[in-house]
Structure 1
Amino acid sequence: MTRVLVLYYSSYGHVRALAQAEADGARSVPGTRVDLRRVPETVPDAIRRKAGFAADDTPVATPADLEDYDAILFGTPTLFGMMAGQMKSFLDQAGGLWARNALVGKVAAVFTSTGSQHGGHEATLLSTQIPLQHFGMLIVGLPYTFAGQTTAQGIVGGAPYGAGTIAGADGARTPTETDLAGARFQGAHVARIAARLAGADLAQAAA
């Protein structure tokens, strides 16, 4: 079995919806086991309630969990043109994995939600990939074989660097079917690549 983790942070549910679609896509690949997890919240409950954050009962991951997977898809909202602080804090706690090269060669991908088309959508996808490359992970984007990202009919999230959605300034816009299809495509794409790499490792070990 190829093990895939979809790990995300979501304030209002947009990234969670994408994460569920990413997980569905990965599960569509035979021989893939998928876990859906979120990073710990750092915002106090009182502030969460006042800001109207969405409740989320998805199990919480720990940095040590990352070592158990062949591929990890990281989902984060765009906050001021970069990943959310909750995701950055989580990655900052993975120094022990970095020191042991525990994530080297694992597949990684990124997806995001942004308030506007020009609010840092691509910047977040690209900059979130940076620490993953420091871990030695292999970055997978959203290739143009997913034709949905080239449409000019309405607002579409995502880019060649990863799946995404545009939430609107007030967060009222939910992911479109094209956005969700892109996330499912990316999840399946990552799972297939991880399976190929895992199979190559097994073949090499048996040789």
Structure 2
Amino acid sequence: MTAKILIVYYSRNGSTEKMARQIARGVESVGDCEAILRTVPEVSTVCEKVADSIPASGAPYITLQELEQCDGLALGSPTHFGNMAAPLKYFIDSTTALWFPGTLSGKPAGVFTSTGSLHGGQETTLLSMMLPLMHHGMVVMSLPCNEIALRETVSGGTPYGPSHCSEIDSELSEHEKRLCWVLGERLAKTAVALKHAR
């Protein structure tokens, strides 16, 4: 009975995607867990239209059916003025059909972000992504305060979820990688426990 953890992200310059891949490693370090990487299409700034149905490269686009069938969710976005990016918000706004019956209720979820500057709004972005997850009734996971990487990091990392600052370094620091891994592991372990309890 494998627990499927969806890692859904939007990444313009690659930083958020790098984080998603580290979270996937944490998920797959737990037995009976599968990490499923998915992204969302670009949204037009001119009219209500999204990109083609198949991405040119990288992870496939998420579908509502995959979201419905997941046992846990990690949601990631770069920071845009202290908020999640429009393509991710556009997808989340399409999940009303899952909200009415409470499809995601009781499933674990976590969030992650990347910014181009140290004070670019990492924590507000993480909180903005938590709000719809709470409306869906999901169990929102944080990073534990006793995680050493959270106390020692000098770049990204918050109690609300992993973060990365590309202004400091375009590559993830070892602390940032560790925090992504920890979130993936926590989501996976919680999803397995809840799945067996049901």
- Return the TM-score normalized by structure 2: 0.89
Deviations 1:58-103 (A, max 9, x none): 1111233211111000011000000001110000000100111111
Alpha-carbon contact 1:63-1:90 (below 8 Å) kept: no
Deviations 1:107-136 (A, max 9, x none): 110000012222111111112100110011
Spell out the pairing of 1:27-176 with structure 2 (5 A cutoff): 27-43=28-44, 56-151=57-152, 155-168=154-167, 173-176=170-173
* 196, 200, 204: which one aligns with 2:193: 196
Closer, same or farther: CA 166–135 of 1 in aligned 2, 3 Å: same
Counterpart amino acid of 1:147? I
- How far apart, in 2, do the equivalents of 1:83 and 1:38 lie? 14
Name 2:48's counterpart in structure 1.
none
- How far apart, in 2, do the equivalents of 1:34 and 1:110 lie? 15
**Structure with larger Rg:** 1
For residue 43 of structure 1, report the CA deviation from its aligned partner: 4.9
Q: Which runs of 4+ in 1 moved over 3 A?
A: none
For residue 138 of structure 1, report the CA deviation from its aligned partner: 0.6
What SS does the corresponding residue of 2:79 show, helix, strand or coil?
strand
* Unaligned ranges ≥5, structure 2: 46-55
Deviations 1:156-183 (A, max 9, x none): 21211001100118xx622112111110
What SS does the corresponding residue of 1:60 show, helix, strand or coil?
coil
Q: Does 1:186 align with 2:183?
A: yes
Name 1:26's counterpart in structure 2.
27
State the identity %: 37
Alpha-carbon contact 1:2-1:33 (below 8 Å) kept: yes
Name 1:52's counterpart in structure 2.
none
Alpha-carbon contact 2:152-2:175 (below 8 Å) kept: no
- How far apart, in 2, do the equivalents of 1:12 and 1:115 lie? 10
Q: Aligned-pair RMSD on alpha carbons?
A: 1.6
- How far apart, in 2, do the equivalents of 1:158 and 1:141 lie? 11
Counterpart amino acid of 2:155? V
Name 1:205's counterpart in structure 2.
none
Counterpart amino acid of 1:93? S
Counterpart amino acid of 1:96? A
- How far apart, in 2, do the equivalents of 1:146 and 1:63 lie? 33
* Unaligned ranges ≥5, structure 1: 45-54, 202-207
Counterpart amino acid of 1:97? L
Counterpart amino acid of 1:30? G
Aligned length: 187
- How far apart, in 2, do the equivalents of 1:150 and 1:116 lie? 20
Counterpart amino acid of 1:167? S
Counterpart amino acid of 1:67? E
- How far apart, in 2, do the equivalents of 1:14 and 1:127 lie? 19
